[in-house]
Amino acid sequence: MEPLPDAVKEFVTGARVCRIATVRPGGEPHVVPVCPVFDGEATVYVDLARRGVSAQGFRTHPSIAVLIDEYHDDWSKLQAVILRCRAEAIEGEELERAWAMIRQKFPQYGSVGWEPRLTLALRILGWTQWGITGPLPSDPE
């Protein structure tokens, strides 16, 4: 994978919400918003309901797409990155590191008693961006 430019890393790090796309066991697409944290290099962490549709899709098809975008009525200011990832359920030290980042970025998890469910490491295999490191293309992916 080509490394993410610093501007894209900052964009991903600052995201308060992203959308992840999975494939249901029957082959239908499924998209859900989640709160991501980024390790600063090549992994995004998210937490899912163990029995949810996204978790079922991950178990069948571990390829997951992540969309992080910023909408603006002035379309010359649109920004987005699509990350093509391979998902892995994590445990042990990596789970503890991921949840330290999650709790720091989203302290509201603690106020509602949210504990790890199915925490995934989304390993970035490829990416596409627009409007972050240059002008918006006329035909993004």
Give the C-alpha distances (Å, rounded to integers) separating 97 from 26, 90, 101, 118.
Answer: 34, 10, 6, 15
- Can you give the pTM of this predicted structure? 0.92
The DSSP bridge partners found for residue 90 are: none
pLDDT tens-place string over residues 74-108 = 988 899 999 999 999 999 999 999 999 999 999 99
Q: Is the pLDDT of residue 112 over 90?
A: no
Indicate if the pLDDT at residue 2 is higher than 80.
Answer: yes
Tell me the two tokens of residue 18: 């992203």
> What is the chain's Cα-based Rg?
15
pLDDT band for position 113 (cuts 50, 70, 90) = confident
Q: What is the pLDDT of residues 64-73, one digit of tens each?
A: 999 999 999 9
DSSP assignment of the chain: -PPPPHHHHHHHHH-S-EEEEEE-TTS-EEEEEE--EE-SSSEEEEEE-TTSHHHHHHHH--EEEEEEEE--SSGGG-EEEEEEEEEEE--HHHHHHHHHHHHHH-THHHHTT---SEEEEEEEEEEEEESSSSPPPSS--
- Indicate the CATH number for domain 6-130: 2.30.110.10
Q: What is the pLDDT of residues 15-61, one digit of tens each?
A: 999 999 999 988 999 999 999 999 999 999 999 998 898 999 999 99
Per-residue confidence (pLDDT) for residue 105, from 0 to 100: 96
Q: Is the pLDDT of residue 139 over 70?
A: no
The residue behind tokens 């789970």 is 95
Instruction: Give the model's confidence band at 109: pLDDT under 50 very low, under 70 low, under 90 confident, else very high.
Output: confident
- pLDDT at residue 137 greater than cutoff 70: no
